[in-house]
Amino acid sequence: MRSFSQNDIRQIYDVRSLLEGYAASLSAIHRTEQDLSDMHKANEDFKTIIMSRGTNKTAHIQDVLKKNHKFHDTVIRASKDPHTEDLIRKVVVLPLVFHSFYWFEQRGLEQSFELHEVIIRAIKDQDSARARSAMHEHIYQGRDRVLEQLKRSDL
C-alpha cells in the first residue's frame, strides 16, 4: 500500500465525508422505492458477511469491503447526481478503506451496519440533514480507526 501521512488521511476522509454526505442528502430528496430496496439488500448482504467471520482474514476483509462498497454505491446512485458520483470515485482510496476494515474489531463492523441502517432510515424519511450527518459519522469512524492504528504503529 502507498504510504499515507496522518494529514493525507485526514484530507482524504474529509473530502470523502463531504462528498458522500452530500450524496446521502441528495438521495433523501431523489430516492425511489427501488433505491430503498437496493440499500436494504446491500446492507443485509453486508450484515451477512460481517457475521460470517471467515477463516482467512484477508479474504474476509475483501468480501466486507465489496459489500460495504456496494452499500455506498446504492446511496450514491440514489442521489441522481453523476458529477458527485464521479468525484467520489476519484477520492475513495480502496487500499486505505481496506486497511480501515482490517483494523475494525467485530463491534466496529456491527457499528458500520448500524450506521448504514440510520442512513437508510434518514433517506427513507427524506431527512436530508440526518442522512448527511449519519454519513459523515460513518466515514469519520473509518478515518479514526486508520489514524488510531497509525499512532499505534508509530510507537
Kindly report the CATH number assigned to the domain that includes residue 108.
Answer: 1.20.120.530
Query: Is position 67 within any domain?
Result: yes
Query: Is position 89 within any domain?
Result: yes
Query: Is position 153 within any domain?
Result: no
The reported pLDDT for the residue numbered 108 is 87
Query: Is position 1 within any domain?
Result: no
Query: Is position 103 within any domain?
Result: yes
Query: Is position 53 within any domain?
Result: yes
> What's the pTM value of the predicted model, to 2 decimals?
0.91
Supply the range of the domain harboring residue 89.
6-148
The reported pLDDT for the residue numbered 38 is 98
Query: Is position 127 within any domain?
Result: yes
DSSP readout, the chain?
Answer: -----HHHHHHHHHHHHHHHHHHHHHHHHH--HHHHHHHHHHHHHHHHHHHH--SSHHHHHHHHHHHHHHHHHHHHHHTT-HHHHHHHHHH--HHHHHHHHHT--HHHHHHHHHHHHHHHHHHHTT-HHHHHHHHHHHHHHHHHHHHHHHHHHH-
pLDDT of 92-127, one tens digit each?
A: 876 667 667 777 788 889 999 999 999 999 999 999
Residues of the chain with pLDDT under 50: 1, 155
The reported pLDDT for the residue numbered 95 is 65
DSSP 8-state assignment for residue 126: T
The reported pLDDT for the residue numbered 153 is 73
Query: Is position 35 within any domain?
Result: yes
| Domain count along the chain | 1
CA–centroid distance for 102 within its chain:
14
